[in-house]
């Protein structure tokens, strides 16, 4: 167990509220180690606790054939000791690749590396990680103009078959795990988002045509309050998935608040309302298998690095504030999960 974690009070092995849908959050290893109060927040509020970055390729296999499972093990063991669920993010992504993978330039080498990585990681955690994002963000940002698939090393060397290869290896090495496709910009109103939802449905059909098991779609839920949720479009998407026998999860919820007014209370209300709109549209169609946020408190978020608030105000993207106090967003999420 990690140094920072042993100081946690692990006596609370059950979360306070019985929820109809489990609530989880992604935990970055450095914060898990260095910030016991932050980690305690996960213990108090999460049914699922899972690694934000420790299961990515660059964290697990920085050098060819040399796997380091220690950070992922620490977080997973922590969740297991508490009796909490967890989540596997992710085998295949265009990002978070070590230099040696970025330098691969032959299809056969790419295929061998991909199969070896998925097999090794999936079998190492088989029986412990109940669901895997087999592929993350493989749909083009703007499918109508770029074609359905996102550019990546895997696409350039193997084409769309890299997704089939990954699903086939994952099904073999982790037969009991739920296998998912995870992606962003699937919940908004507008032609680009319609095209992205359609591309995901096509991907599901493609895998099923090849007799490959696909169990769920991860709808990330990185929300921009200036872009309205497509209540009907998202609902139709979830029902279309259901008709194909595929469930869904909300996997990475946060609110990109860089364009919202600096006033913190107002911003929190607007963020909560937008998350409520997402949950309303999604839950009206079918219950998700889980709802997770990408981090838990405003103390740490990728949004502060990538999309800082326009007026220089600290970002407030998550359900708890920097002082670890619940915000309106948390109340909204709990209302849907516990109803
Ligand atoms: O851990 C090291 C730390 O030791 C070092 O001091 C520091 C210096 O830069 O880097 C730290 O690693 C960073 C890590 O985040 C932890 O903060 C990596 O450089 C950085 O690349 C990494 O970024 C993550 C990013 O994915 C790439 O893996 C973000 O935390 C993470 O929030 C983000 O998550 C993605 C999802 O996987 C997919 N969906 C979008 C989401 C947000 O971009």
Q: Among the atoms of ligand 1, which is closest to the Cα of residue 306?
A: 43
Of the pLDDT bands very low, low, confident and very high (cuts 50, 70, 90), residue 15 is: low
Q: Which of 36, 38, 33, 102 is nearest to 70 (CA)?
A: 33
Full DSSP string of 191-220: HHHHHHHHHHHHHHHHHHHTT----EEEE-
Residue count of the chain:
339
Convert the pLDDT of each residue in 64-112 to its tens digit: 999 999 999 999 999 999 999 999 999 999 999 999 999 999 999 999 9
d(CA 258, CA 239) in angstroms, rounded, equals: 32
Q: Whose CA is nearest to atom 42 of ligand 1?
A: 302
Average pLDDT, the chain: 95
CA of 284 to the centre of ligand 1 (A): 33
189 alpha carbon – ligand 1 mean position (Å):
28
> What integer is the mean pLDDT of 2-27?
64
Give 28 Cα–ligand 1 centroid separation in angstroms: 8
- Percent of the chain beyond pLDDT 70? 95
Which residue is closest in CA terms to ligand 1's atom 15?
A: 53
Q: How far is the CA of 53 from the centre of ligand 1 (A)?
A: 6
Structure token digits, residue 205: 């059909």
Domain holding 229, by residue range, is 3-338
Residues with CB under 6 A from ligand 1: 28, 30, 52-53, 56, 95-96, 136, 220, 252, 302
Counting from 1 in the atom list of ligand 1, the atom nearest the Cα of 96 is 28
CATH classification of the domain holding 91: 3.20.20.80
Scan for tokens 């549209």, then name that residue. 281
3 state SS of 291: strand
Domain count, the chain: 1
Which atom in ligand 1 lies closest to the alpha carbon of residue 302?
Answer: 32
pLDDT tens, residue by residue, 105-130: 999 999 999 999 999 999 999 999 99
Q: What is the pLDDT of residues 192-236, one digit of tens each?
A: 999 999 999 999 999 999 999 999 999 999 999 999 999 999 999
Predicted confidence at residue 220, as pLDDT, reads: 98
**pLDDT, position 7:** 35
Nearest CA to ligand 1 atom 31: 302
pLDDT tens digits, one per residue of 266-323: 999 999 999 999 999 999 999 999 999 999 999 999 999 999 999 999 999 999 999 9
pTM of the model: 0.95
Which pLDDT does position 14 carry in this prediction?
55
Query: Angle of helix 264-285 relative to helix 328-338, nearest 10 degrees?
Result: 20
Q: What CA–CA distance (Å, rounded) separates 260 from 26?
A: 24
What residue's CA is closest to ligand 1, atom 13? 53
Mutate to test the pocket of ligand 1, among 70, 187, 220, 302 (most ligand atoms within 8 A of CB): 302
**What's the pLDDT at 11?**
44
| Per-residue model confidence (pLDDT) at position 336 | 97
The whole-number pLDDT of residue 18 equals: 81
Query: Residue 90 CA: which ligand 1 atom is closest?
Result: 37
**Top mutation candidate among 32, 53, 71, 222 for ligand 1, by most atoms within 8 Å of CB:** 53
- Considering only CA atoms, which residue is closest to atom 4 of ligand 1? 30
Ligand 1 atom at minimal distance to the Cα of residue 30: 1
Query: How many Å is the Cα radius of gyration of the chain?
Result: 19
15: Cα separation from own chain's centroid = 21
158-175 pLDDT tens trace:
999 999 999 999 999 999
pLDDT at 8: 40
Ligand 1 atom with minimal separation from the 53 CA: 28
What are the start-end ranges of the E strands in the chain?
Answer: 23-27, 48-51, 88-92, 131-136, 178-183, 216-219, 222-223, 247-255, 291-293
């Amino acid at each position: 167990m990690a140094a920072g974690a042993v100081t946690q009070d692990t006596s609370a092995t059950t979360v306070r509220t019985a929820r109809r849908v489990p609530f989880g959050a992604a935990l970055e290893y450095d914060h898990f180690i260095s910030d016991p109060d932050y980690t305690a927040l996960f213990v108090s509020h999460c049914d699922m606790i899972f690694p934000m970055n420790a299961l990515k390729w660059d964290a697990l296999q920085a050098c060819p054939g040399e796997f380091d499972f220690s950070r992922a093990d620490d977080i997973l063991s922590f969740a297991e000791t508490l009796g909490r669920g967890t989540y596997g993010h992710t085998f295949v992504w265009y990002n978070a690749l070590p230099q040696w993978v970025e330098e691969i330039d032959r299809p056969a080498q790419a295929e061998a590396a991909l199969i070896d990585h998925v097999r090794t990681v999936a079998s190492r955690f088989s029986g412990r990680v109940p669901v895997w994002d087999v592929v993350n963000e493989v749909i083009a940002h703007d499918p109508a103009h770029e074609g359905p698939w996102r550019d990546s090393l895997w696409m350039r060397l193997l084409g769309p078959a890299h997704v089939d290869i990954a699903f086939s290896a994952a099904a073999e090495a982790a037969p009991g795990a739920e296998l998912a496709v995870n992606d962003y910009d699937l919940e908004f109103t507008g032609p680009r988002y319609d095209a992205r939802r359609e591309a995901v449905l096509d991907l599901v059909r493609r895998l099923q045509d090849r007799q490959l098991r696909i169990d769920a779609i991860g709808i990330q839920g990185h929300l921009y309050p200036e872009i309205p949720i497509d209540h009907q479009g998202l609902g139709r998407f979830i029902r279309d998935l259901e008709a194909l026998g595929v469930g869904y999860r909300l996997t990475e919820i946060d609110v990109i608040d860089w364009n919202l007014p600096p006033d913190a209370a107002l911003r929190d209300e607007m963020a909560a309302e937008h998350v409520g709109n997402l949950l309303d549209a999604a839950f009206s169609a079918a219950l998700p298998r889980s709802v997770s946020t990408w981090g838990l408190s405003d103390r740490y978020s990728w949004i502060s690095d990538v999309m800082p608030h326009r007026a220089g105000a600290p970002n407030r993207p998550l359900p708890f504030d920097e002082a670890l106090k619940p915000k309106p967003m948390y109340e909204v999420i709990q209302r849907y999960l516990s109803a």
